[in-house]
Amino acid sequence: MNIVCSSKKIANLTQIIFVYKTDAAEVVPGIHLKEFDASANHTLLLHEKTAAKLYVGLGSEASVTELTVRNALGTAVRKLQSVGISEAQWEVGAYKPFLTGAIDAAIVASYEFDCYKPETSRRIPFAQLTLLGKDLETEDVQTAVAQGMIYGDAVNLVRRIGNEPGNVCTPEYIAEQAQALAAMHDLNCEIFKKKELKEKGFEAILAVGGGSVNAPRLITLQYEYDEKAPTVAIVGKAITFDSGGISIKPAATMEEMKWDKMGGVGVLGIMDIVARLKLPVNVVGIICSAENMPGGESYRPGDIIKTYSGKTVEVINTDAEGRMVLCDGLAYAVDKFAPDCVMDMATLTGACCVALGLRRTGVFSTDSKASHKLHTIGERTGDRCWSLPMGEEYLDAMKGHYTDLINSASSRYGSASFAASFLNEFVGQTPHIHLDIAGTGWLLDTEPYLAKGATGAGVRLVAEFLKDYH
Ligand code: BES
Ligand code: MN
Ligand code: ZN
């Protein structure tokens, strides 16, 4: 999407007009409020002789935040696309402080996963948005716009890869995407295939990937800013399809498990943003990718795995595969890079969805300052989250009889916290933040400002977290 600025309104170009609830009758004279009352994300499209006007509701003025503006501009873009309009102008006015978010949202709104549909029924790309206003040529404004584009493009990259099904997006495919990203930004990229994984002792990743013909990969991307700057590692779960393995899942909605890679794919988006913004922090992205399938070489319940860390794990349920691949990734991150903080992002547990619903990511951390910072970012950007507990009170349930740990507790109650506490056993003393995006990684129904499918949840959240990390 092209973003340009203009100090004067352009004749014959569709205009996007934001409307507060109290102003609806005044802005659109003669309008019946049942037709358009300017509720948030409600739209009214009027065709005038020369150009169309799209009114978008913001709801009540008192409750307008960056998020309101993001969603309203996103809604506008999708509405115009749906009627075949691909260019528009929008008066920036009082929304200038929210410009980065607004541009981000416009770009994200314009994307739809329709590359497998015939060309004639695909959504038209939104070609150009003209920002109207005085003083838009300043460096501040230009930077804000550029940042919004970086965020939007990164989130869409994650969604494009994320929506590819398991027969296209394999661990090898993700590794290729990582290599392409690395080449673009001059990042270090290292890929461990089966041979290296065996040599180095990544037995948990190998176990999970054992049942699939699409062999696992451990992918490392490194952005180096400065030796003196802090280092953050971010480990992502990228199960390209989670059938459950031998502990196979029920058939209903199993197709959703192509999105079980969103944590790892999100790491690609985070690295993209970090590199483009040249953030003053060293960042290591580690993607643990495998396909969890039943087969003659699958790992099985009862198997005892010696993980990369040296800790042993008894497999109780092969469907608890996320914590298996992540425990190797986390131990490697800490061992190899000695980061100041290790984060991980994963579609880890159905229990997280039960606890928080589908609109908030679960945050598990012993660092309450970090949790608070993430929460604040989420409220502003819409990449919302909520803290849930982890710690020794949950760990007891994960202790093994024959081994250090088991991969699934006997109780279902507190399953998201069991999983988080299991992961926390593999980071040593390193401060750790676990993000469970099981509920937020994909959207089941299209929103006015967002297509259904992969969302890119956690990408903005973590990138913004890293922006002023010290
Ligand atoms: N990928 C799933 C978690 C999941 C389920 C995400 C539904 C989104 C929607 C994960 O690998 C899994 O199967 N977790 C199990 C763990 C259990 C076996 C301890 C779960 O949550 O049921
Ligand atoms: Mn599973
Ligand atoms: Zn899974």
With contact defined as beta carbons under 8 Å apart, do 104 and 70 qualify? yes
Distance (angstroms) between ligand 1 centre and the Cα of 148 equals: 33
Distance (angstroms) between ligand 3 centre and the Cα of 239 equals: 6
Please give the pLDDT value at position 49: 86
Q: Which ligand is nearest to the CA of 419?
A: 1
Please give the pLDDT value at position 29: 85
Which residues of the chain, if any, have pLDDT below 50? Answer: none
The beta strands (E) that lie in 12-51 are given as 15-20, 43-47
Catalytic residue among 159, 237, 323, 360: 323
Please give the pLDDT value at position 50: 87
Distance (angstroms) between ligand 1 centre and the Cα of 438 equals: 8
Instruction: Kindly write down the DSSP assignment for every residue of 387-410, as one continuous string.
Output: E---SHHHHGGGB-SSSSEESS-S
* Closest protein CA for atom 14 of ligand 1: 349
Strand order in the sheet with 231-242: 188-192, 217-223, 282-292, 231-242, 341-346, 432-436, 361-365, 385-387
Please give the pLDDT value at position 52: 96
With contact defined as beta carbons under 8 Å apart, do 290 and 329 qualify? no
Catalytic residue among 123, 193, 194, 249: 249
Query: Which backbone phi and psi does 141 adopt, to 5 degrees?
Result: -65, -45
* Closest protein CA for atom 6 of ligand 1: 438
Distances in whole angstroms, Cα of residue 423 to Cα of each of 142, 266, 280, 392: 42, 19, 28, 12
Domain at 2-137, CATH class: alpha beta
CA–CA gap between residue 25 and residue 3 (Å, rounded): 31
CA–CA gap between residue 156 and residue 140 (Å, rounded): 24
Domain 2-137 identical in fold to domain 165-467: no
Fold of domain 165-467: Aminopeptidase (3.40.630)
For the chain, the structural domain boundaries read: 2-137, 165-467
With contact defined as beta carbons under 8 Å apart, do 80 and 129 qualify? no
Q: Which ligand is nearest to the CA of 408?
A: 1
Kindly report the pTM of this predicted structure.
0.98
Angle, to 10 degrees, between the axis of helix 262-277 and the axis of helix 139-163? 160
- Nearest atom in ligand 1 to the alpha carbon of residue 416 is 21
* Closest protein CA for atom 8 of ligand 1: 438
Angle, to 10 degrees, between the axis of helix 99-110 and the axis of helix 139-163? 30
Name residues contacting ligand 1 (CB within 6 A).
242, 260, 317, 319-322, 347-351, 353, 408, 415, 438
CA–CA gap between residue 261 and residue 288 (Å, rounded): 9
323 flagged as catalytic = yes
The single-letter code of the amino acid at 183 is A
Nearest to 248 by CA among 293, 203, 210: 293
Distance (angstroms) between ligand 2 centre and the Cα of 468 equals: 34
**CB neighbours (10 Å) of residue 325?**
30
Which residues lie at CB < 5 A from ion ligand 3?
Answer: 239, 242, 260, 322
* Closest protein CA for atom 9 of ligand 1: 350
249 flagged as catalytic = yes
- Nearest atom in ligand 1 to the alpha carbon of residue 257 is 1
Please give the pLDDT value at position 150: 98
pLDDT by residue (tens digit) across 417-465? Answer: 999 999 999 999 999 999 999 999 999 999 999 999 999 999 999 999 9
Distance (angstroms) between ligand 3 centre and the Cα of 234 equals: 18
Dihedral sign of CA atoms 206, 212, 215, 220 in order: negative
CA–CA gap between residue 242 and residue 249 (Å, rounded): 8
- Nearest atom in ligand 1 to the alpha carbon of residue 347 is 6
**CB neighbours (10 Å) of residue 64?**
18
Dihedral sign of CA atoms 144, 148, 149, 150 in order: positive
Which residues lie at CB < 5 A from ion ligand 2?
Answer: 242, 319, 321
CA–CA gap between residue 266 and residue 136 (Å, rounded): 32
Angle value at C-alpha 157, between 155 and 159, nearest 5 degrees:
70
Q: What distance lies between CA 297 and its chain's CA centroid?
A: 32
Distance (angstroms) between ligand 1 centre and the Cα of 364 equals: 17
Query: Looking up tokens 């069991």, which residue turns up?
Result: 418
Please give the pLDDT value at position 360: 98
Please give the pLDDT value at position 48: 87
* Closest protein CA for atom 22 of ligand 1: 350
Q: Which of 249, 253, 288, 349 to mutate to test the pocket of ligand 1 (most atoms within 8 A of CB)?
A: 349
Nearest to 458 by CA among 203, 184, 273: 273
**CB neighbours (10 Å) of residue 134?**
9
Q: Which of 243, 293, 319 to mutate to test the pocket of ligand 1 (most atoms within 8 A of CB)?
A: 319
Please give the pLDDT value at position 104: 98
Distance (angstroms) between ligand 3 centre and the Cα of 109 equals: 27
Q: Which ligand is nearest to the CA of 350?
A: 1
Token pair in block for residue 312: 């042993």
pLDDT by residue (tens digit) across 285-311? Answer: 999 999 999 999 999 999 999 999 999
With contact defined as beta carbons under 8 Å apart, do 358 and 441 qualify? no
* Closest protein CA for atom 5 of ligand 1: 350
